[in-house]
Amino acid sequence: MPAKRRLTMRQLRQMLRLAGSGTSSREIAVILGVARSTVQDNLKRAAMAGLSWPLPGELTDDALESRLFARAGVKQGQRRRHEPNWAQLSIELKKPGVTLLILWEEYRSVHPDGYGYSRFCELFRGFEQRLSPTMRQEHAAGDKVFVDYSGKRVPIVDRKTGEVREAELFLGVLGASSYTFAEVTWTQTLPDWVGSHVRMFAFFGGVPRLTLPPTFIRF
């Protein structure tokens, strides 16, 4: 039986990139928020599969998963109905207002003989559990801050003109206490991004050891 995987495909790619730059497995584990043994196991799988950074540009997540985790000598089973691109659906589901029902309706509009809604949901949840299993993480006080934009804009009304302008919502959350800093800026450009960090650190009264951007987290 193949070993259980604790990394998402995005984390696996990040792991290989960090390892390729000379980062130790211990530090990679800290950055990704997983056990060191998990990193070592996945690096060993990558070495056995002949994979190193940079990965081939045409290597999709499905192909990467197959090379790392498919059991040798076992032919992958095929389902009789058309398989959606579960990884792409997972990305779409993160967008505001998108639900599994909407994604299923779009899927059935293209594949009328595809899965029913209940089976569609079951397969999607199975995909999520396989790629992103829940793992308890312990955070030391002041060790990490997780930063990102919320993805939902805030409407700002000009009192004089009545004009409505949408602003971005920046969030910074301390890992141990979940103490949160939030502010709105007009854009997500570099000056606003850096400025929000400066004001966040001033609000917290210090700078954590690690600042983890959206590459590693999802609000």
Question: Does 27 share its domain with 58?
Answer: yes
CA distances (Å), origin 215, targets 13, 51, 110, 114, 155: 11, 21, 32, 33, 27
Residue 218 lies in a domain: no
Backbone angles phi, psi at 148, to 5 degrees: -175, 165
- Ordered DSSP codes for 49-81: TT--SSPPTT--HHHHHHHHHSPTT-PPP--SS
The burial of 26, by beta-carbon neighbours within 10 Å (0-12 exposed, 13-18 middle, 19 or more buried), is given as exposed
Residue 219 lies in a domain: no
Predicted local confidence at residue 70, as pLDDT: 63
Residue 136 lies in a domain: no
Q: How many domains does the chain have?
A: 3
Question: Does 111 share its domain with 159?
Answer: no
Predicted local confidence at residue 1, as pLDDT: 34
pLDDT along the chain (219 residues), means of 10: 58 88 87 86 86 80 75 46 81 80 88 84 79 55 85 86 90 85 92 94 91 61
Residue 75 lies in a domain: no
Give the C-alpha separation, 138 to 115, whole Å: 39
Question: 116: domain range?
Answer: 86-131
- Ordered DSSP codes for 124-155: HHHHHHHHS--------TTTEEEEEE-S--EE
Question: Does 187 share its domain with 162?
Answer: yes
Least Cα distance to 8 among 55, 53, 69, 73 occurs for: 69
Residue 1 lies in a domain: no
Tell me the whole-structure pTM to 2 decimals: 0.39
Question: Does 127 share its domain with 149?
Answer: no
> C-alpha dihedral over 97, 148, 90, 105, to 10 degrees?
10
Predicted local confidence at residue 219, as pLDDT: 39
Residue 79 lies in a domain: no
Residue 76 lies in a domain: no
Question: Does 150 share its domain with 208?
Answer: yes
Residue 202 lies in a domain: yes
- The sign of the dihedral angle between the CA atoms of 14, 18, 23, 25 is positive
